[in-house]
Each structure stands twice: as structure tokens, then as C-alpha cells.
Structure 1
Amino acid sequence: MRPTVRRDDPRLQIITETLQKLIPGATPAFLSVDVIEALPGPGEPCNRWTGTPAGLAERIYTALYGRPGRPRPDEQLSPLERAEDAKRRRDLDGEISALVQGHTALTSAPWYPARPGDLVHVHYEAGGTVPAFGETYLIAAGISEGFLSMQMLAHTLPADTEFLDGMVGCFAVKDDPDPLMELWFEAGPHTLTIIRDGRPVHIGGAR
């Protein structure tokens, strides 16, 4: 996630895929990257760094946005981040509990389920060179009966932000029985503000 970097963060994926495409048609699993410092003069040593495109992509990402991985203890975590944190600790019960608690917290909310006309705002904390920003989505009727869409109305990320297209609008859906589920689990309820009939029904950032 943009507030706390996920391993599936589109920025990391874009960097990785860009490196992999340096050799068109190559199989990613067989690729490696060599960075060589060839010093001038005969007999001078040659310094070399060798790694995978994914490893280099993570180094580039870390320099730009901060290291992907476990967030600080004082940061609020989304249900998915809590589950992944437990998985890294090999805590199966904790992983399942995080997912179940996240689902229960959403489905037991007095305003649940989402309705056409609801406005959903998600706040992303600053990370690396990316400033804090927000996205606003509109819940509307879907294509299939009983389904809903979630359309992005606006975002506040500067237009000159690198990889802008991969960073905004990723939670928009066209036809979904529960369009809030992915956003709730990945971004986390603490990042969301939901407005219904002009009044806030969920303020995740409230202290």
C-alpha cells in the first residue's frame, strides 16, 4: 500500500517489469543484472554487483520511497498487513485471526453494506518522494443486478508524480457484490472516510 508499502505495490511492479523488459521476450526467471565499475588503466581492478531484476528493483524502490517490509510498531495496519505480518512470523492462528477480524469489522459496521451514492475517501501517508495524498470514490449501481461499482472521482496526487497511472484508481471496480472489501483489507479501515447522504458514517482517521 502506499501508506505502508506492499510487496504488490504497483510502483515496485513497474520498476521490476521495466528491468525485465530490457531484453524483449526474455524469461524473467533466467535474468540477472550486472553492474560493473571498470576502472581506467591496465591491470586496474574491476568492481561488480550482480543480482536479479527484482533485487535491483527493490533497491531502486527503497531509494525512492523507503524500504518495503514490516511497518513500524507505531503504525496502524490494515487487516491484510496484519495477516502478512503474522505469516512472516509463521503464526497461522494470527494470520487467520487478522483476516477474520477484518471481515467481521466491515460486515458488522452499522452502515454496511455500501449503497449507491456513498462517497469513499482513502488517505495515503507520505512515503519516500511521494507526498501524502487522497482518492475519492463514488459507489454506484453495477452492471449486474445487485452488484455495485466504485468509480474514482478525484485524487490529490500531483500530476507530475512518477508512475502516476499505476498509483491512483487501483481500487475502482465496475461490477462487484462488495466493492469496499478489497479497499478495507488492503488500505485499512483507519485510512477510510465514508460519507452517506452528506454525513460521515465512518471516519477511520479519527483519534
Structure 2
Amino acid sequence: MHRPAVHRRDPRLEIITEAVERLIPRATPAHLTVTVTETLPGTANPDGTPHKHTWTGKPEGLAVKVFTALFGRPRTEEQRSPLAQAEDAKRARDLVGELDALLAGGVALETAPWYPCRPGDLVHVHHRAVGDVPLTPAFGETYIVGDAGDGLMSMQLLAHTLPDTVEHAADMVGCFAAEAADCPVYEVWFEAGAHLLTVVRDGRPVHVGGAR
């Protein structure tokens, strides 16, 4: 799915976009457009139909307009996970900023339209390349959420794309697996960040992070 290259550091913009996309249940976001129509009373076109003014755009375009009206222009800095933002604030001795980053991350997760996760959900994590060579190439991991009993859920590694030739490759994958947790995606959401996650439910993506 293609979307404009907007760095969505603020999860509120992502939430607004997904809310607009879900006005038509189970629709494919890449195929959606939004049309707002003003019908002018007492006017008519040559064919007798009422004269109208319209605005048409993609869901993310409408989301940006709503976000800007509420909060100002979206930030365009590089996207960072809630934990990375909190660590930046901690290094700057900004206790309020540290708490805000963690609280915002929790709110973004718990207000996501697909939350909470369900058994059978697939969680895909993108890991960025590390180093200039790079020492570790970019790779992905796929986890599956399962029922751990007693109202808890597990998340087990299904597959990864990190080459076995990478040093210590076996120690670098599966770190987000969970045997039993209230919310098995909590750790990966905070450490990797929503922008590096894709969640698939019933064969359909319900959350797609990063550039779309």
C-alpha cells in the first residue's frame, strides 16, 4: 500500500487515519477515497441537479487536516519508539518528557482499533540495519499470538529473515516471544515502536507501521 512519506511519530495521526479508513468495514485502505460534499440550496446545474462543492482526497489527507486543526502540523522527525523517546528524555534529565513518552505509547496501543490482540494474530517486526557495512542487515521477524490459558496470551516466533551467516544470529531473534502475558505485543510496541510493526488478523492487515 502506498502512502505519502509522512513520518508519523505522533500516534494520534495514525489513530485518526485508521478511524477514517474503517468508516467502510474491511475496506482496503489503498482503494479508499473520502468525499465531502456541500449542496447549495436554491441553485441548480443545467441538468437540474443541485449545484455542489466537493472535496475529495485519501483518508490520510483528511487525517492530516483533522490532526492539524486539533494539534498543529504533524511532526516530520524520524520515527522513534516510545522507549527510545523516553531514553532521550531521560538523558536530557527531562522527567516529564520521559513519562509523557511512555504514557503516550500506552495510550496509542490501548486506543488502537485492533487492540487487544487476539489468538491467531500475526505480528511482523522490522529490524533496521545496524552499522555502516552493515554489521547487521535489516531483517524481519514473524510472531503468532496464541491462547496461553487463564485469560493470558502467548507470542511465539514463527520465522525470521536474518541470515544464519550473521554472527550471533541465533541470539538476535525471538527476543519478543512471550509465554504468557495480558498483552504479548506490549514489549515489542514499546521497544521497536508502532512504525516498525505490522499486525495481521484473519488474513488482513489491521495495523501497518511505517511508510505505506
Bin for the TM-score computed over the shorter chain = 0.5 to 0.7
Residue 200 in 1 paired to residue 205 in 2? yes
Q: TM-score, normalised by structure 1?
A: 0.63
What's 1:136 paired with? 142
5+ residue gaps, structure 1: 1-72
Kindly indicate whether the alpha-carbon contact (under 8 Å) linking 2:164 and 2:170 is maintained by their aligned counterparts in 1. Answer: no
Deviation, 1:145, is 1.0
What's 1:113 paired with? 116
Deviation, 1:74, is 4.7
Structure 1 segments of 4 or more deviating over 3 A? none
What's 2:41 paired with? none
RMSD value, Cα: 1.2
Deviation, 1:161, is 1.0
Secondary structure of 1:77's match? coil
Residue 103 in 1 paired to residue 109 in 2? no
User: Paired residue for 1:162, among 167, 170, 173?
Assistant: 167
What's 2:186 paired with? 181
User: Which structure 2 residues correspond to residues 63-74 of structure 1 after superposition, within 5 A?
Assistant: 74=77
Q: In 1, Cα distance between the equivalents of 2:107 and 2:100?
A: 10
Secondary structure of 1:206's match? coil
Q: In 1, Cα distance between the equivalents of 2:181 and 2:200?
A: 19
Deviation, 1:206, is 2.9
Give the count of matched residue pairs. 134
Match for 2:180: what amino acid?
A: D
Match for 2:183: what amino acid?
A: D
Q: In 1, Cα distance between the equivalents of 2:156 and 2:183?
A: 13
What's 1:87 paired with? 90
5+ residue gaps, structure 2: 1-75
Match for 2:137: what amino acid?
A: P
Q: In 2, Cα distance between the equivalents of 1:74 and 1:112?
A: 26
Q: In 1, Cα distance between the equivalents of 2:155 and 2:189?
A: 13
Q: In 2, Cα distance between the equivalents of 1:200 and 1:161?
A: 30
* CA displacement, residues 145-180 of structure 1 (integer Å, 9 cap, x when unaligned): 100000000000001110112210000011111101
Kindly indicate whether the alpha-carbon contact (under 8 Å) linking 2:176 and 2:188 is maintained by their aligned counterparts in 1. Answer: yes
Secondary structure of 2:189's match? helix
Secondary structure of 1:121's match? strand
Q: In 2, Cα distance between the equivalents of 1:165 and 1:159?
A: 8
Secondary structure of 2:205's match? strand
Deviation, 1:75, is 3.0
Secondary structure of 1:113's match? coil
Q: In 1, Cα distance between the equivalents of 2:115 and 2:171?
A: 29
